[in-house]
Amino acid sequence: MWMTQLKTAIINSRHDGNAKVTLISGGGAGHEPSFAGLVGDGLLSAAVSGSVFASPSVHQIQNTIASAGGSTGTLLIIMNYTGDVLHFHLAAEKARLAGHEMAVLVVGDDVSVGRRKSGKVGRRGLAGTVLVEKILGAVAQQDDATLKKLYHLGKEVVANLATVEVGMGIHNETGCYVLKPQPDINVLVDQMLDQLLEQEDEDRAYVRFNDAEDLVLMVNNLGGISNLEFSAMTKVVVGRLSNRSLHPRRVYAGAYMTSLDGKGFSITLLKASKAMIQALDAPASTPGWTAHQHLETSPVARRLSVVEEQAERMDSGSSRLKVDNRSLSAAISRACHRIVAAEEEIDRFDSLVGDGDCGSTLARTARAILADMEKGGSVSPDGDAVGTVETIAKVVENNMDGTSGALYAIFLNAVGASLRNCGACVAGLDALQRATPARVGDRTLMDALEPFIRALQAGESTDAALIAAQSGRDRTQGMRASLGRAVYVHEQGWREVPDPGAAGLVVLLKGLLLA
């Protein structure tokens, strides 16, 4: 029944795509009913899903835009995670080249990690994203709805949205800190509401709710709490808000955005306008949008940094840059085997400062390159360096999930274009730094990559450049994280291991350069 409804919703979205602005959302699987369960009349036009907790590929997103995108424009609504931001922006740029009118709305509603710790990465996207999608889905049905209008309305909703989550992180992170067990659910809820509402806390006071014209409450089940317990929690949240003289006009309670079957829940507050309330009340026919409770008797007294990357267009002809084919094949094979051998160690690093799959992601791609080489692919038979880089870039795009995949793909595509024009790897670094704010000192693979490239740019030997990369990797151990999922974990993890991405890059470079 659920799948039949979903298929019908997707088919309908394709038929109606040209008449109205298309709304497309998506991200990693494991959050169902988000995102596919929100496709239907009055909500999303289409959704695209990656592997569990991993961003969909650029190719997947492009196909969804091509299938569902309308002539009046397409708005991509995504949550603020690096892989999603990079992949969806790259897909949007490619769609623009193909003639689509595009915009990307990034939702960040988390307040559990404050401004100082979240740094450049900003607020995570959590369950409040569903409210953004519902409001925009309703307004998109109006005759005067334009892409520009929907984008700016989305920004307004996000700026008035705040969510705090308790339990394991939405991507199985260990959490930014550990709460002591509480014998009374009232105490736990009060702690969560303090983070949402405390105006004196400059680090977390993202929205001022005490002057809200209308207040919307969403209590979201991460999937593993029983209906009985969850109903009691929702009642407690409404009651504790009332004790603070805050009375929600609308209450939404249910499993809207899960984390597989995570034992946790989140509280979302929206400082809503009357127009937002009307949009939330508008009918929607989707499997994942459930009924809400009106609380009309207790009314209260009445902020995208667009990361743009122009896709490099490369002609398919052979370039003039030739290398020794046997030596290149040996170097690539050696590097891939070293990555595979280091899979377990890199995953161990990532289990302490991320979601534990960095080594597996790199190793899966290395195995795909090795398999491609066995079939005669990847390495150009005539020693064409550019052709080899382009082919490996495609393998990376199709096999490497998440942030790592986007970063490596952008770098390799830019290197290929630069080599075709007699350039250098500096162009790849420049392309990365246009697409991401990550720099040396942020505890990312950039801490190893940039010193390596800058050493080569300065005329130093490959041995010296490799030493620079290793030193950069080593400096990340104990370094405060400014980007990526490491931002959200306990600082102890930063002291115990180097950045997994930087560690993986050094293994790759050693394989390429050291016979």
Q: What is the 3-state secondary structure (H, E, C) of 386-439?
A: HHHHHHHHHHHHHHCCHHHHHHHHHHHHHHHHHHHCCCCCHHHHHHHHHHCCCC
How far is 415 from 421, CA to CA, in rounded Å? 10
Report the alpha-carbon distance of residue 95 to residue 303 in Å, rounded: 26
Q: What is the pLDDT of residue 297?
A: 40
- How many helices and strands, by DSSP H and E, does the chain display? 19, 9
Does residue 121 contact residue 91 with C-beta atoms inside 8 Å? no
Tokens of 151: 């984008």
Cα–Cα distance list, 71 to 14, 21, 100, 311 (Å): 12, 8, 7, 22
User: Helix, strand, coil % (nearest 5) of the chain?
Assistant: 50, 15, 40
| H or E segment to which residue 154 belongs | helix 147-159
| 501 residue type, one letter | G
Q: 382 exposed, middle or buried (CB, 10 Å; 0-12, 13-18, 19+)?
A: exposed
Phi first, then psi: give them for residue 100, nearest 5 degrees.
-85, 140
Structure tokens given for 80 = 């603020």
User: Hey, what domains does the chain have and what are their CATH numbers?
Assistant: 9-294 (3.40.50.10440), 325-513 (1.25.40.340)
Tokens of 1: 């029944």
402-420 vs 500-513: helix crossing angle, rounded to 10: 40
Give the Cα separation of 428 and 410 in Å (integer): 7
> Checking DSSP bridges between strand 102-107 and strand 74-79, what pairing results, if any?
parallel
Please name every residue paired with 104 in a beta bridge, in sequence order, or none if there are none.
76
DSSP 8-state secondary structure symbol assigned to residue 80: S
- From 87, 100, 171, 247, active-site residue: 171
Q: How far is 144 from 62, CA to CA, in rounded Å?
A: 27
Q: How many CB atoms lie within 10 A of CB 381?
A: 11
Rounded Cα distance between 460 and 34, Å, is: 50
Spatial contact of 94 and 62, defined as CB atoms under 8 Å apart: yes
Query: Encoding tokens for residue 288?
Result: 């994942």
How much is the CA Rg of the chain, to the nearest whole Å? 24
Measuring CA to CA, how many Å separate 437 from each of 82, 267, 417, 462? 10, 30, 22, 27
- Nearest CA to 79 out of 106, 43, 100 is that of 106
Per-residue model confidence as pLDDT tens for the chain (515 residues): 444 444 444 444 444 445 689 999 999 999 999 999 999 999 999 999 999 999 999 999 999 999 997 778 999 999 999 999 999 999 999 999 989 999 999 999 998 877 777 778 788 899 999 999 999 999 999 999 999 999 999 999 999 999 998 876 677 666 666 667 666 889 999 999 998 998 887 777 889 888 888 999 999 999 999 999 999 999 999 999 999 999 999 999 999 999 988 888 999 999 999 999 999 999 999 999 976 666 654 333 332 232 333 333 334 445 445 667 788 888 889 999 999 999 999 999 998 888 888 999 999 999 999 998 888 776 666 667 777 888 888 899 889 987 888 888 888 887 777 665 555 578 888 888 888 888 999 999 999 999 998 988 888 888 898 999 999 999 999 999 888 778 888 788 888 899 999 999 899 888 888 86
Q: How far is CA 198 from CA 3, 194, 203, 207, 242, in A?
A: 43, 5, 10, 10, 15
Cα distance between the two ends of the chain = 58
Residue 7 is predicted with a pLDDT of 44
pLDDT at 47: 97
CB of 156 within 8 A of CB of 62?
no
Query: Smallest Cα–Cα separation from 305: which of 95, 155, 429?
Result: 155
Residue 191, burial from CB neighbour count under 10 angstroms (0-12, 13-18, 19+): middle
- Containing H/E element for 136? helix 128-139
Q: How far apart are CA 218 and CA 164, in angstroms?
A: 11
* Cα angle: 36, vertex 40, 45; to 5 degrees: 75
Task: Specify whether the CB–CB gap between 369 and 336 falls below 8 A.
Answer: yes
Known catalytic residue at 171: yes
In whole angstroms, give the CA distance from residue 91 to residue 93. Answer: 5
Rounded distance between C-alpha atoms, residue 99 and residue 210, angstroms: 45
Spatial CA neighbour of 246 closest among 205, 190, 289, 290: 190
Sheet holding 214-221, edge to edge: 161-166, 265-272, 214-221, 250-254, 293-294
For residue 315, the model assigns a pLDDT of: 42
With b for 16 or more beta-carbon neighbours within 10 A and e for fewer, the 192-230 pattern comes to bbebbbeeeeeebbbbebeebebbbbbbbbbbbbeeeeb
State which H helix or E strand residue 92 sits in. helix 82-97
